[in-house]
Amino acid sequence: MTDFQASGGIQGRQFADQCDQLLRHYGFTLGGRLVLGEIGVEIDRVATSPAGREVWFEYKGSVQGSRPGLIRTNTLKKAVANGALVAGIAERRPFVVLTSHLPGAGAGLAMLDVARRLGYFTDVVCIYTPADTQRLRSL
């Protein structure tokens, strides 16, 4: 494994730890990962909200890099594809993407806007934006 890949793995675990801490802060009970084999999607974290609702979370972020989180187009496309696939199953739970960074303009923002309009995500939350994280209370 290259140094770049090793660094990416470490950063991914650090970001996942931050997401888990945030969810605990908002009163979620954390479960494990979930593989939806019939559609080829892996849910990063199944959690139960304080209201008792099961929520599926996808973590897309990094603490470093020139194009972290959903700013990176291929990362955004994977989140959109997963959201579209999850939207098509009957046993769907609320599907929330937690990210370190959101696209602010251009094609990335356009893709994210269309995916939201189509209902692929229950929400997309930048974990470093307090106004975003407050929306976790509504789950």
Instruction: CATH number of the domain at 132, please.
Output: 3.40.1350.10
Residue 68 lies in domain: 3-138
pTM for this one?
Answer: 0.91
Instruction: Express each pLDDT in 59-74 by its tens digit.
Output: 999 876 667 899 999 9
DSSP one-letter string for the chain: --HHHHHHHHHHHHHHHHHHHHHHHTTPEE---EEETTTTEEESEEEE-TTS-EEEEEEE--SSSSS-GGGSHHHHHHHHHHHHHHHTSTT---EEEEES----SHHHHHHHHHHHHTT--SEEEETT-HHHHGGGGG-
Q: How many domains does the chain have?
A: 1
pLDDT digits (tens, 9 = 90+) for 12-40: 789 999 999 999 999 999 999 999 999 99
